[in-house]
A and B are shown apart, each in its own frame.
Chain A
Amino acid sequence: MSAPSYPAAGAVPAPRVLVGLLAEFEDVDGVVSAAKCVRDAGFQRWDVHSPFPIHGIDRAMGIRATVLPWLVLGGGVAGVSAGLLVAWYANAFDYPLYVSGKPLMSLPAFIPVIFELGVLLAALTAVFGMLGLNRLPMLHNPLFHSERFRRVTNDRFFIVIEATDPLFAEPAVAELLLSAGAVHVERMETEED
């Protein structure tokens, strides 16, 4: 377990702003138990980063269920209505034509299109809703300054506690994380702007 790497005092080249502390863990159990500690310590603005979804982490962090399903439902309803509307408008209202002696509004024949449009809009909502709620795409992120963080997409687990958290007090937080089993803790900084 390496000690937290604090930059030596005065050796700060440019004035940098502390964004938060980044703690690295080696395995699932470590990060999950640490997450519980952080949660119990009452932090608000923090997060766990992992190469794959850790099952049980939601509980461990106390994440509340997302509203995405409701958005998707809305998308689906919109799609179905759009399908019904366009079929009716095109074939029964705007340019009615007599086809095979069938009624102008041949609902049964319109159902496939209506269904497909419903699925299409629901799916689009699901994807773009998810990206939106996740604030993605976000190509720039202070996390990406950390060399070690690159392994978050490979085999390592991280906990980030942001400096903007009301309870954030740098040494204490570092202590907490180390005691929770972090193998490494580092400061996340960005240039002053």
Chain B
Amino acid sequence: MDKPTPQTGKQYWRSLEVLAETPQVRQLIEQEFAGYDPAAIQSMSRRGFMKVMGASMALAGLTLSGCRRWPEQRLAPYSAAPSNRIPGVPEQYATVMDVGGVAMGLLVSSHDGRPVKVEGNPSHPFARTFGGRLGAADAMAQASVLELYDPDRSRQVVQRDGQQSQYSDWEKFSAAAAAAFATLGKAQGQGLAILSEASSSPSVADMKRRLLAAMPQAQWYEYEPMSSDNRRQGTRQAAGRELRDILHLTDADVVVLLDADILASHPAHLRYAADWAARRRQADQGNMNRVYIAESRFSVTGMAADRRLALRPARVMALLEALAQRLGAVGGEAVSLSDEERKFVDASVADLHAAGKRAVVAVGEHLSPRAHALAYAINSALHSGAVRYVAEPGVDRPSHVAAITELTRQMAQRQVKTLLILGGNPAYDGPADLEFSKALGTVPLSIHLSHYDNETSALCRWHLPRAHYLECWGDGRAWDLTPSVAQPLIQPLFGGKSVIELLALLMGEALDGEQIVRRTWQSILAKDDFEKAWRRVLHDGVLREAAGAYVQPQAVQQSPTRSAASSLAGFDLRFAADYRTYDGRWANNGWLQELPDPLTKLTWDNAALLAPADAQSLGVSQGDLLRISVGGRSIDIAACLLPGQPAGVITLPLGYGRWASGSVGTKVGVNTYPLRTGQDMHYVGGATVKRTGRVYPLALTQDHHLLNDVGKQARDARIGSKGQSGLIIRETTLDQYKADPKFAHRDVHGGVHLQLFEPPRKFNDPHAWGMAIDMSSCIGCSGCVVACQAENNVPVVGKDQVLAGREMHWLRVDRYFKGEPADPAVVNQVMLCQHCETAPCEQVCPVAATVHDTEGLNTMVYNRCIGTRYCSNNCPYKVRRFNYFDFHAKDPRGGAKPWPGLPDTQQRQAIDQIKQMVFNPEVTVRMRGVMEKCTYCVQRIRAATSERRIAGQKLMDGDVVTACQQACPTQAIVFGDLNDPNSAVSQLHRNQRAYGVLEELNTQPRTKYLARITNPDPGSAPAPKPGKDHGGH
């Protein structure tokens, strides 16, 4: 596909006057130091002069760019300064991002007109963390700001004709479109088809209504590769109408999940994670919930579950049938279960019965309609109070698969004269058997509105740049249909248009985005006093009272179980949205590409996730390139061994192997869509696997070196056996915790701390910062990793550097598998700078580049650092990160190149100016050769303290929120002042589960971990530890 090279970039100017080049300006420029009086210096004594010079040099030294000029940025000078805006003080705006037809409530911080940090909206029901003070956002939402400043985003209208393609502009397009749509209008829209990605936007729905009203013959289709249509169908079977289930996990003592990754993949996962964690945190009150999961992959929810059973997809269904029968939700012939399946059912049924109303069963969105029907039946049989339902919107549309199948058929039959594709990328993620791309080529006039000039655009006559959600007006509905308004934080950087703006243009409506949205909301908001309500919605970012009404239709009797003879021949392939690139839409996002997968810790790739047992029988080892074939289609993909992966199932994450994604995402990983047909969108059986004999390098951030026996023994001694404490991981079950509340402080090695020196002071003046991380509520979703990266300008290093072991994340999630590879338990330990009071890193720095401040922060002075890396060697937690190259300037897909100029000019000159706009101005951008690490978000501490000081108030607990804490949906991370005995962090430090990792080294860490408590049913609980088994002895 040939892409014309974009025209040379914009001219940047420092002020309108300079641009205008007025004589005064020239004069000013000529006499460089305006108002400078030589006498002042001459009269100055030598000492005085040295003082001044010293001071200015010191000031210059404070920035990495030394005494050079700041990087040039495009300034947006105000013609009239808006009221109540203080330059330099970030402002937050509420908005929403729509992914797959569900809107996420966000709060975006804008620095002087530049949105730089995306966070969750605390007042949004599906973003607020439990207790409602903070708002969580997942990794993808937080990384979306990087997409905003992605230089690869399409900048111009492109017109294609066969192989020819040239840059065009909106004028040319609208002229061409106007003509086409005029004729279409006359023909009632005959021959016009619209393919839209799923959207929850009321405005889009409104525009759709208007368009179809104007052109009744037009066809409107909707397609999403990740679809919930099975639930719609299932609930129709079960309840006679299409429903959305909303779990209330705080009310659930027992949760039984079947292939339901409700904590990470579900559209409502943030809310679910928050509610789930609320019940985990009650471990100390002995009031924990218990989660069972039977799944056909290893999911984040699986890591967090108390009892987990890994099964083939067909067996998951069988298990559900059995469960339904045992709970009297359905009749029919008994399902034959394996031994462990039966144990699982027995245990869960017993618990479900016991819990009654306070129990709930949930199934994965992708499971068959019958599964959803059974789940509904079970929950109504249980009279579960932990699940509510709202009516599914857009019931009139066909399922996504049916829609795109029908559209392709029409295109193939030349019935579609004009095709308008609104977002999405069907040429890449459409069902493989449809050959959508081939059909698309035959459409006379095809128009694609998209953020990137991508695979689908390449096959369309017109590609139109789409405005990023942070650039345009819009709206959306949350999982429970709560509506929100999306407001722009910045002018479209590349002149893109939103879906509604494009529709308006095509329908000849002279309306801009804001007008369209306001028009739509006239019907949503109270007519009287619209302005006031409108402003409130903009401020809150959500209209709580307009949430969907709960409905509870009677359960329809389900057809009895029919034993489906599921063949176990060959492998089952399980297609799953990737935890980073989702369906591929985030492929060009460096933050997400480099985010380690929560389970495999794989970066910059997807892989065939394989059970160790299967790997053994196939003679496959980590990184072997496999040829996976099914139904005459096949792909070559590297094997990645995943303990806990069900035997006989290979999980194939989608969203990789893009061929027109951009400089970051193109040709990263392997495209698994070719194996995915319309019939089998989620899994397919009977696949064959062959070794190609080739080996593929997988960039893992953990276990990248396969452990030999001595390594395994040592690791097990350190992390402990399944469900038991080790040297660095302390955990136990709820029952054993009740029996031995002090368990976290047993087996501590070298407990005696011989302090050779009296510390010069206590590090508590005026505050004593500390952090607590609750391993019971951490689910390892890795949202905190991206939050830290976005907040602290952490660079993306690229696959080559991850392979070299040089990833830069200040905060990592250490994931430890415990027990047998077939049925492991997983502990996640968020690891970041522990801010030790006797920090080993400080004493070894020869230039005092890392020292302690009076509040207990282990500070890192970048401009003083010369990069001996000694501190990193001496850090037992290995949380320090070194800039081996100028990573911001390095192309993540290419090697580092020599820089001929002065080393510290590289930052300014080699980093793309659009990319520079994503930098958080509060945080230094580190240059090559400098060590860096977690700072406890010192910039946030300073901002909060000075804000209080200016207001003449005392700092309150919760004023300072670190980026990781902010993003954590389960509130596993708590930060605050240890001087305040009532602060949340002080209370957690006093908790008897609190311990310091490696505290036996007398590092006296300020970060404490709360030992992990799990709540397995007695049947599956690991045997209590025999005696005092010290890992080391």
Contacts and interface: CB of A to CB of B under 8 A. Distances in A.
Interface of A: 95, 97-104, 106, 109
A109 to B, nearest CB: 8
B667 interface: no
B393 to A, nearest CB: 59
Nearest to A95: B848
B837 A99 contact: no
A190 B838 CA distance: 74
B1018 interface: no
A102 B758 CA distance: 7
B279 to A, nearest CB: 39
25 contacts: A97-B851, A97-B852, A98-B763, A98-B851, A98-B852, A98-B854, A99-B845, A99-B848, A99-B852, A100-B840, A100-B842, A100-B843, A101-B757, A101-B759, A101-B760, A101-B839, A101-B852, A102-B757, A102-B759, A102-B838, A102-B843, A103-B759, A104-B760, A106-B757, A109-B843
Interface in B455-504: none
A101 B837 contact: yes
Given A97-B848, A97-B851, A98-B853, A103 B840 contact: no
B933 to A, nearest CB: 15
Nearest to B761: A98
B863 interface: no
Given A97-B848, A97-B851, A98-B851, A103 B763 contact: no
A99 B757 contact: no
Contact of B1004 (A97, A99, A101): A101
Interface in B743-795: 757-761, 763
A60 B348 CA distance: 109
B848 A100 contact: no
Contact of A103 (B760, B838, B851, B852): B760
Contacts of B837: 101
B843 A99 contact: yes
B838 A100 contact: yes
B848 A103 contact: no
Interface of B: 757-761, 763, 837-840, 842-843, 845, 848, 851-854, 1004
Contacts of A95: 848
A103 B757 CA distance: 7
Nearest to A92: B760
A99 B842 contact: yes
Given A100-B842, A101-B759, 9 more contacts: A95-B848, A97-B851, A98-B763, A101-B763, A101-B852, A102-B759, A103-B760, A104-B760, A109-B843
Contacts of B761: 98
A95 to B, nearest CB: 8
Contacts of B843: 99-100, 102, 109
B511 to A, nearest CB: 62
Contacts of B838: 100-102
A48 B837 CA distance: 68
A157 to B, nearest CB: 54
A109 B848 CA distance: 14
Nearest to A104: B760
B501 to A, nearest CB: 57
Nearest to B853: A98
A106 B851 CA distance: 15
Contact of B839 (A97, A100, A103, A106): A100
A85 B37 CA distance: 42
Q: Which 8 A-B pairs have the closest CB atoms?
A: A100-B843, A98-B852, A101-B759, A101-B838, A100-B842, A97-B851, A99-B842, A102-B757
Contacts of B852: 97-101
Contacts of B854: 98
A179 B299 CA distance: 110
Nearest to A108: B756
Nearest to A98: B852
B1005 to A, nearest CB: 12
A109 B763 CA distance: 22
A101 B845 CA distance: 14
Nearest to B854: A98
Contacts of B848: 95, 97, 99
A102 to B, nearest CB: 5
B311 to A, nearest CB: 52
Contacts of B1004: 101
Nearest to A91: B848
A97 B845 CA distance: 12
Contacts of B842: 99-100
A103 B843 CA distance: 11
A32 B852 CA distance: 70
Contacts of B839: 100-101
Contacts of A97: 848, 851-852
Contacts of A103: 757-760
A101 B763 CA distance: 9
A101 B676 CA distance: 59
A95 B851 CA distance: 12
A99 B851 contact: yes
A100 B1004 CA distance: 10
A189 B853 CA distance: 75
A8 B127 CA distance: 118
A106 B839 CA distance: 15
A109 B843 CA distance: 10
Nearest to B837: A101
A100 B851 CA distance: 7
Nearest to A90: B848
Nearest to A105: B760
Contacts of B757: 101-103, 106
Nearest to A96: B760
A103 B1004 CA distance: 16
Listed residue (B757, B761, B845) with the most chain A CB atoms within 10 angstroms of its CB: B757
Nearest to A97: B851
Contacts of A106: 757
Contacts of B758: 103
A97 to B, nearest CB: 4
A20 to B, nearest CB: 55
B760 A98 contact: yes
Nearest to B839: A100
A99 B844 CA distance: 9
A166 B168 CA distance: 110
A101 B757 CA distance: 8
Contacts of A109: 843
A189 to B, nearest CB: 56
A3 B851 CA distance: 82
Contacts of A102: 757, 759-760, 838, 843
A103 B842 CA distance: 13
A110 to B, nearest CB: 12
Contacts of B759: 101-103
A104 B848 CA distance: 13
A104 B761 CA distance: 10
A46 B854 CA distance: 71
A103 B837 CA distance: 13
A99 B848 CA distance: 8
A104 B757 CA distance: 10
B844 to A, nearest CB: 9
Nearest to B850: A99
A111 to B, nearest CB: 14
B756 to A, nearest CB: 8
Nearest to B843: A100
A98 B838 CA distance: 10
A98 B850 CA distance: 10
Nearest to B758: A103
A99 B852 CA distance: 6
A25 to B, nearest CB: 58
B920 to A, nearest CB: 27
A169 B758 CA distance: 78
Listed residue (B760, B763, B845) with the most chain A CB atoms within 10 angstroms of its CB: B760
Contacts of B851: 97-99
A27 B914 CA distance: 87
Contacts of A99: 842-843, 845, 848, 851-852
Contacts of A101: 757, 759-760, 763, 837-839, 852, 1004
